[in-house]
Amino acid sequence: MSIEENFSWDYLKNVADALDSYRIRALIDAKQDILDAGIYDESQYETILIKMLDEEKLKYSLLNFLKQNSESNLKSLELFSEMNSIELNKTLSFLELLKNENLVSSEELYDKIEGYENNPEQLIFKDFLIKPNKTQTSQLKPIYEPVKIIFETKNCSGCGLCAGICPVNCLQIYNGFGKIDEDKCIRCGLCYFVCPRTYLPVRVLNMTQESTSEIKEYQNVGFFLEAYSARTKIKEISEICQDGGVSSTCLHYLLENNAVDVAIGAKMSNTLWRPEPILLKSKEEIFSTAGTKYVNNPNLQILNQSELHNKKIAVVGVPCQIQALLKSTIYDIGFPSLNNVEYRIGIFCMESFSYESLLKICEKLKVDIKNAKKMDINKGKFFVYTNSGEELNIPIKEISHLGREDCEMCFDLTSESADISIGSIGSPSGWNTVLIRTMKGKELYEKLISNNLIESKPLEEVKPGLPLLQRIAGSKKNNSKKHINTRLEENKRVPNY
């Protein structure tokens, strides 16, 4: 057989495997249901289908490549990336998929560096050991897995992305929990595929952030290019913002300068302190989103609106939402509104509560929630500031049992998957800590400075600065590990990070 014939045979085999994938089959079989749901027209449907077919084809191409040897390693993955002209992180994301679909086993090998004095022992990544599963692919075909298992096992973070991408609009997230209309569901499994709580390739996400093909170790706050302390110079924002107002200033700049057409964020609903997702198009609407909200809100659900198909979008969200967005760029399903997300503006998040739990916290503080003007978590306490000028607080330890169970498994304090991450920890009162993570985030921040919209200092010049942020982020990571281990001991499902 000639090389061309061999290539052609492999190519056809990969196409056949891809066409046989349940995700592709469901999309083909349910074409009319998808068109009837009215989110996508026929041409968008075809673009999505072809994109997904291409991605599945590459995934199976990697599988067939790995099957040529009993064992493969990082060098093999680099060779595959070169042969297919793709970035190593793309190949790694396919490897994660193959692993999650039980088609290969892959182990990470580390060198151990002994600890000394106050420095703990360190593990440094060395290589991969990859073995294809010996069973025939046809016997191992991944099957449809319903995302409702994520709701039912209290793994769901309520980010809203599954509802935002459901092609027949049969999934809703409300009050942090999901509900599927089983009669309408076409069993495409895309909700499970995009969910950050099914599997999340943290190493690949970090590599994607850094735009490099090198495998490195990461600190507690993830990769970042530069760190600052900043506050807005826009008077209308500084009058209403909780800390430095930098996230509202980013949106203000992006919308005023047509860098995006619309932003997705959260505003207070008619029920005070129960937020709801909002599409922001004007300065006035940005002002309606000011202030930290401690009740979980499915911002990404709003991505299902067809008006977003041809709009440039900025998303402001908490770490689990931003992780979901970055995951959807590395496992590209070709959905227009997802591909239109131009900026990921991440907010720091320690934990969130259900609305009912927030009512209980107010009850403990003997304050009517309608009288709460501002809420804040600071120095280990939950603060409520009232309209009548009172400052009430309760130690976090006394209310931590009221936090959402899924938040206990969350490892990310600082929105490590964002273009730019903004929070209050590390900066003095009235200022924001800003971590710039991508070139896009850096360009945006530089525009805020050159347009005289913010006051900015290097984070190393302020107290408590990065050391405090690193410490609190590290403690969130350790707590997440502990909770995950406890759940594993209890035979409960956990996210695959």
**Binders of ligand SF4 among 401-430, rule CB under 6 A?**
404, 406-407, 410
Among 48, 162, 316, 435, binds ligand SF4 (CB under 6 A): 162
Q: Binding segment for ligand SF4 among 191-199, 255-263, 368-376, 385-393 (CB under 6 A)? A: 191-199
Quick note: the x/- pattern for ligand SF4 over 193-212, rule CB under 6 A, is --xxx---------------
Q: Does 318 bind ligand SF4 (CB under 6 A)?
A: yes
Q: Does 147 bind ligand SF4 (CB under 6 A)?
A: yes
Q: Does 351 bind ligand SF4 (CB under 6 A)?
A: yes
Among 132, 222, 275, 319, binds ligand SF4 (CB under 6 A): 319
Smallest distance, Å, CB 310 to ligand SF4? 22
Q: Does 295 bind ligand SF4 (CB under 6 A)?
A: no
Closer residue to ligand SF4, CB minimum distance, 34 or 250: 34
Smallest distance, Å, CB 373 to ligand SF4? 22
> Would you say 284 and 276 are in contact if contact means Cβ atoms under 8 Å apart?
no
219/99 Cα distance (integer angstroms): 25
State the amino acid at position 107 in one-letter form.
E
Quick note: the x/- pattern for ligand SF4 over 11-50, rule CB under 6 A, is ----------------------------------------
Q: Does 454 bind ligand SF4 (CB under 6 A)?
A: no
Name the one residue in this structure whose structure tokens are 């793309």: 90
Name the one residue in this structure whose structure tokens are 């294809």: 132
Among 97, 320, 418, 466, binds ligand SF4 (CB under 6 A): 320
Ramachandran area for residue 158 (φ above 0: left; ψ -120 to 50: alpha; else beta): left
Smallest distance, Å, CB 102 to ligand SF4? 20
Residues that bind ligand SF4 (CB under 6 A): 147, 150, 156-162, 166, 168, 170-171, 173, 178, 180, 185-191, 195-197, 296, 298, 318-320, 324, 349, 351-352, 404, 406-407, 410
